[in-house]
Structure formats: structure tokens, C-alpha cells
């Protein structure tokens, strides 16, 4: 348990940061699910719009240190590949 005033403050800050980071991660997952649902729905226009909406959120999470840049790149790449595959099937 924290004994010094500084240690107690760090405990309070860590908890505040943990809650905020959890909220941010949840928001990120929601946007990713929206894109996945649009892809599963089979409507290319809606999937593209969802990805355009999610991309800045993904990048923001990298800048805030919530996720690693490679994880962000992997998400964007895979979602883009799924959307491209949809457009190839339609054509």
C-alpha cells in the first residue's frame, strides 16, 4: 500500500488513467465492430464509410499510446483487404 503523499497521488492518477484508457479501448473496439458488421452486411458503400470513420480513431489511439502502431496498421490493412475483396466479388 502507498505510504507517501506522492505514492498516494500516483495511485489516484494510475486509476484515473486506467479508466480513461479502458474507455478509449472500448470506443476503438466499437468502431472496429461497426466496420466488421458493415462488411458482413455486404454493403460496400457502408463498409467504406465505416472504415473512413474508424481510421482516424485507430490513429488517435496509437498517438495516445492505447495500442501499438503495428496493431493499428494490421487492423486497417485487414479491414481494407476485406472491403477490396467485397468489391471484387461484386464486379
Mean pLDDT of 41-58: 95
Give the pLDDT confidence score for residue 25 in this predicted structure. 98
One DSSP character per residue, the chain reads: ---SHHHHHHHHHHHHHHHHHHHHHHHHHHHHHHHHHHHHHT-HHHHHHHHHHHHHHHHHHHHTTSS-HHHHHHHHHHHHHHHHHHHHHH-
What pTM was computed for the model? Answer: 0.88
What pLDDT is attached to residue 80?
97
Average pLDDT over residues 18-27: 98
Q: State whether CATH 1.20.58.110 applies to domain 5-90.
A: yes
Place 83 in a pLDDT band, splitting at 50, 70 and 90: very high
Amino acid at each position: 500500500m502507498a505510504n507517501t503523499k506522492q505514492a498516494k497521488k500516483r495511485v489516484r492518477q494510475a486509476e484515473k488513467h486506467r479508466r480513461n484508457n479502458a474507455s478509449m479501448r472500448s470506443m476503438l473496439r466499437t468502431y472496429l465492430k461497426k466496420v466488421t458488421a458493415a462488411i458482413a452486411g455486404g454493403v460496400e458503400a457502408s463498409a467504406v464509410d465505416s472504415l473512413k470513420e474508424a481510421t482516424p480513431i485507430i490513429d488517435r489511439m496509437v498517438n495516445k499510446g492505447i495500442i501499438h502502431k503495428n496493431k493499428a496498421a494490421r487492423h486497417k490493412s485487414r479491414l481494407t483487404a476485406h472491403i477490396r475483396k467485397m468489391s471484387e466479388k461484386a464486379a
